[in-house]
Amino acid sequence: MSDEWYSPSLIFDALGVEFDLDPCHPPYPTNVPCKKYFTIEDDGLKQSWGGVVWMNPPYSAPKLFVEKWLNHANGFALVPQSKSQWGLDLWQSEAKVVMMKPNLKFDRPNEKSAQIFMAINLWAIGEVAISVLEKSGLGKIR
């Protein structure tokens, strides 16, 4: 399975913000409205994060990104539902979550969109991000 599943534009449209950083950006332009980004070559895990972060990590190995996102405590994370320790860490944190609709379509490198087989959650942490999520209309927040 490829990790090349790009964040759905409908989420950005609903949130209506420009993010300060995307630490998991592909090596070419996408639809993520951000001021700065790190690609796999930059290794976002080794970089300093600042401001409101948008994070859609590689779903094959999200653990370390989720840990860093929780420690940064300011932004959004689009991650699969997981019965892992990092999933439990998210649930037990101060972050708020919206379970995305099952028919959510991700953008793909071939410019076609497709559904992913996993349940996907959008998490927000920090005062600004939680406020934006509450106003987004993306679903019930827990």
For residue 4, give both structure tokens. 């090349």
pLDDT value, residue 35: 97
Q: What is the pLDDT of residues 76-134, one digit of tens each?
A: 999 998 889 999 999 999 999 999 988 887 766 666 766 666 789 999 999 999 999 99
Distances (CA, A) of 53 to 47, 50, 70, 117, 122: 13, 7, 11, 25, 13
Pairing mode, strands 75-80 and 105-107: unpaired
For residue 47, give both structure tokens. 């970089």
Cα torsion for 132, 7, 82, 93, to the nearest 10°? -20
Q: How far apart are CA 73 and CA 23, in angstroms?
A: 14
Query: Per-residue pLDDT for 1 more than 60?
Result: no
pLDDT value, residue 114: 62
Assign domain 9-136 to its CATH architecture. 3-Layer(aba) Sandwich (3.40)
Give bridge partners of residue 115 from the DSSP assignment: 105
Query: Per-residue pLDDT for 8 more than 90?
Result: no
Query: Per-residue pLDDT for 9 more than 80?
Result: yes
Whole-prediction pTM value?
Answer: 0.91
- The full set of domain ranges for the chain reads 9-136
For residue 28, give both structure tokens. 């070419």
DSSP annotation of 45: G
Q: How far apart are CA 140 and CA 38, in angstroms?
A: 31
Query: Per-residue pLDDT for 3 more than 70?
Result: no
For residue 102, give both structure tokens. 């099952």
For residue 30, give both structure tokens. 């996408």
Q: What is the pLDDT of residues 35-85, one digit of tens each?
A: 999 999 999 999 999 999 999 999 889 999 999 999 999 999 999 988 899
